[in-house]
């Protein structure tokens, strides 16, 4: 406990000396979220990065989120505690495969989930997050064919919500959400018969069919906190427990284990630790470094998304 307090104090001192802001995604360890200037979902954190005016952004999340922050802040230093904090969705869509696809289908608008590499963003027409994906697809003229990438579950959910027939969907998946089995949700409902189910749209369609609410991480938290009900089954990464219990300590939240790790933790998000956070603030590395040309190309689709309100 004493050692942890000491590291936390070192981090706060370094953060002040470096004129740094610490942005944390909801899936980070609680001890990191407690030190953050802002906690949020991927859309909220991108908006925070867009408004930032200090020297250093410490992004406690995964690498693609930090790349987005760098694209929006090309002259600032952006660091992540662990360079290996990746994402299975990013890995599922290499930029050269997308370029080859575009060559064969030049008429399609490319709508990319923010969970993509900066190289894929640079090949995209507009980005979306789980919070605004329906709004983004609806913003594209009805006659324009779309490729939605890379998440197949989010893509199918958006297609169903928008009724968009001329939309093709890439075959990527999140190793955390896509491996939640519907039968485990059914068991959790049997065990907690009065609980309501809230699910992230990266979950498979048969899980989403069992949900009372579908939304991004922050949308799930807002819905559970404001809902008059007191008991919930949460179908997303267990890091959201931190905000749920802080904002609604009187309520009960049950998490369902997936088949990937028999847990509900993202192994990439959990690579960041307090020690690595302290070291990255001290050494200003691992640092996101991108060419100006790549950032310029990737900024257009990011800003197009952020302009939608």
- Contact present, 153 and 232 (Cβ < 8 Å): no
Residue found under tokens 């289908």: 105
Using rule CB under 6 A, residue 216 touches ligand 13P: yes
Assigned token pair, 100: 């080859």
Residue 85 CB, shortest distance to ligand SF4, in Å, is 8
Using rule CB under 6 A, residue 88 touches ligand SF4: yes
Name which of residues 248 to 267 contact ligand SF4 (CB under 6 A).
266
Which one, 14 or 219, has the nearer CB to ligand SF4?
Answer: 219
d(CA 274, CA 228): 36
- Contact present, 288 and 70 (Cβ < 8 Å): yes
End-to-end alpha carbon distance in the chain: 43
42 binds, among ligand 13P, ligand SF4, none (CB under 5 to 8 A by kind): ligand 13P
116 binds, among ligand SF4, ligand 13P, none (CB under 5 to 8 A by kind): none
60 labelled binding-site residue: no
Q: What are phi and psi of 165, to 5 degrees?
A: -80, -30
Residue found under tokens 């991480």: 217
Q: Is 270 exposed, middle or buried (0-12, 13-18, 19+ CB in 10 A)?
A: middle
Residue 155 CB, shortest distance to ligand 13P, in Å, is 14
Please choose, out of 68-76, 126-134, 135-143, 225-233, the segment that lies near ligand 13P by the rule CB under 6 A. 126-134
d(CA 169, CA 41): 23
What is the DSSP code string of 65-82?
Answer: HHHHHHHH-TTSEEE-S-
Using rule CB under 6 A, residue 41 touches ligand 13P: yes
113 labelled binding-site residue: yes
- Selected from 46, 269, 281, 302, the binder of ligand SF4 by CB under 6 A is 269
Q: If binding means CB under 6 A, how many residues of this protein chain bind ligand 13P?
A: 10
- Selected from 35, 149, 175, 198, the binder of ligand SF4 by CB under 6 A is 175
150: cis peptide before it, omega within 30°?
yes
Number of H helices, E strands in the chain: 15, 12
- Selected from 28, 33, 42, 88, the binder of ligand 13P by CB under 6 A is 42
d(CA 113, CA 136): 10
- Selected from 176, 220, 234, 280, the binder of ligand SF4 by CB under 6 A is 176
175 binds, among ligand 13P, ligand SF4, none (CB under 5 to 8 A by kind): ligand SF4
201 labelled binding-site residue: yes
Site residues for ligand SF4 per CB under 6 A: 62, 87-89, 115, 174-177, 202, 237, 266, 268-269
Site residues for ligand 13P per CB under 6 A: 41-42, 115, 129-131, 174, 202, 216-217
């Amino acid at each position: 406990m004493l050692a942890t307090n000491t590291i936390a104090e070192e981090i706060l001192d370094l953060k002040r000396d470096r004129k740094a802001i610490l942005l944390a995604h909801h899936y980070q360890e609680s001890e990191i979220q407690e030190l953050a200037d802002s906690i949020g979902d991927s859309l909220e954190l991108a908006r925070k990065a867009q408004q930032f005016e200090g020297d250093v952004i410490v992004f406690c999340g995964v690498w693609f989120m930090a790349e987005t922050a760098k694209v929006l802040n090309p002259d600032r230093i952006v660091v992540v505690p662990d360079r290996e904090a990746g994402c299975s969705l990013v890995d599922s869509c290499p930029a050269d495969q997308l370029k080859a696809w575009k060559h064969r289908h030049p008429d399609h608008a490319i709508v990319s989930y923010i969970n993509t590499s900066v190289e894929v963003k640079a090949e995209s027409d507009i980005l979306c997050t789980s919070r605004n994906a329906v709004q983004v697809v609806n913003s594209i003229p009805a006659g324009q064919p779309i490729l939605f990438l890379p998440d197949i579950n989010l893509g199918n959910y958006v297609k169903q919500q928008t009724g968009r027939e001329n939309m093709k969907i890439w075959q990527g998946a999140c190793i955390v959400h896509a491996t939640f089995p519907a039968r485990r949700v059914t068991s959790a409902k049997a065990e907690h018969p009065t609980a309501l189910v809230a699910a992230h749209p990266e979950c498979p369609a048969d899980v989403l069919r069992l949900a009372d609410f579908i939304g991004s991480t922050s949308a799930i938290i807002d819905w559970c906190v404001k809902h008059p009900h007191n008991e919930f089954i949460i179908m997303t990464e267990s890091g959201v427990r931190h905000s749920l219990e802080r904002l609604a300590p009187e309520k009960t939240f049950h998490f369902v284990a997936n088949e990937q790790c028999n847990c509900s933790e993202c192994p990439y998000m959990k690579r960041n630790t307090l020690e690595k956070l302290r070291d990255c603030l001290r050494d200003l590395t691992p640092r996101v470094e991108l060419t100006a040309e790549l950032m310029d190309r990737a900024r257009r689709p990011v800003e197009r998304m952020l302009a939608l309100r």
